[in-house]
Amino acid sequence: MDLINNIVNCCNIRQKEETENQLMTTSKRLRPLFIILCGITYGSTAVIANTNQKDASSTIMLWPKDAANQERTGMGTPRPDRGDGHIRLTDVTKPSMRFFPAPATKKPEPAVILCSGGGYNHVVTTKMESIAKWLNQHGVSAFILRYRTPKKRKDAFEDIQRAVRIVRSRASEWKIDPKRIGVMGFSAGGHLAARVSTGFDIQSYQAVDEHDDVSCKPDFTVLLYPAYMNKGKELSKDFTVSSKISPTLIVTAKDDKGFFPGSPIYANALKEAGASVRTHFFDKGGHGFSLRPKQYPLSTWPDLCLQWLRDKNIIQDEPEQQNAPVRK
């Protein structure tokens, strides 16, 4: 009897092993199909997110001709990886914005258009994602601008003007206060943000639709380690300052030797014109410190920026809304 039981058990074990082997073989055969299906699903989701512009992190094309063309060509070509986890895109011929909505509230909230740096050779939009999410935590919607590159300053200026107009004209749709729309620029993006801040009355392109019926003047401007602000000891001719310029905050470091001299020149020009400007010039920090620099006191700049936004009645003193529902 024991012998029979042993034989039965051995048969069961062998049958189980054969079944497991068959399952493993089937799994290996189906794995490529599974990967393909995942890719299709991901691609479909990306298309939906890009076409439904009210969804979180959706992509908004700036110009009608590009919105009508669903091809991805022209959205940017990645440059060689520098090993820092950021993607640098060049050859951008179809400019766009990526929308990061703030947590939903009962009333319209402010918005900021983020302009990354890159020397006008490329854009580093991935570096702006942490900035966008930080702003979201404080009730501010964010738009990461992917302006045209490389070496297309005139086109980039058209793109930032157009971006401000789109956000303002669609403010009610996105529950944004049209009187609290600002720009925040980093390095070359700081130069671009300052250009739209001072050149809002320049007609850089012919109107193409109803979005161009509204003003492209930012309601506030934040410049982080801005570049190309001066020509020697003089203010760059890219800027025409006046008392009409909206409040400006400038944050940079004095050891950013290549670009720092332009910041006090620009700040003094604003002051002399009667415009509102606040500066935080730190002794150390270099260039490109972004959201969380390690050096103190430079590491306090996000809090100083928030305080300035409160002082200008752009944001309210409310606790972070990390668990609030995302606006649809």
> How many alpha carbons fall within 13 Å on the CB side of residue 79?
18
Do the bridges between strand 277-282 and strand 248-253 make them parallel or antiparallel, or are there none, so unpaired?
Answer: parallel
Q: Give the relative orientation of helices 188-198 and 153-169 as an angle to the nearest 10 degrees.
A: 60
Do the bridges between strand 230-231 and strand 234-235 make them parallel or antiparallel, or are there none, so unpaired?
Answer: antiparallel
pLDDT of residue 277: 98
Query: Apex CA 81: angle with CA 146 and CA 291, to 5°?
Result: 55
Q: Is the pLDDT of residue 55 over 70?
A: no
Q: Is the pLDDT of residue 30 over 90?
A: no
% of the chain exceeding 70 in pLDDT:
77
Chain segment 56-112, per-residue pLDDT in tens: 569 999 999 887 776 667 888 878 877 777 888 999 999 999 999 999 888 999 999
Choice between 44 and 307, residue whose per-residue pLDDT is larger? 307
Distance CA 99, CA 292 (A): 22
**235-262 burial: b if 16+ Cβ within 10 Å, else e:** bbebbebeeebbbbbbbbbeebeebbeb
60 neighbors 145 (Cβ within 8 angstroms): no
Q: Which amino acid is at 231?
A: K
Q: Is the pLDDT of residue 16 over 60?
A: no
131 neighbors 143 (Cβ within 8 angstroms): no
- Give burial (CB, 10 Å; 0-12/13-18/19+) of 66: middle
Confidence grade of residue 11 (pLDDT, cut at 50, 70, 90): very low
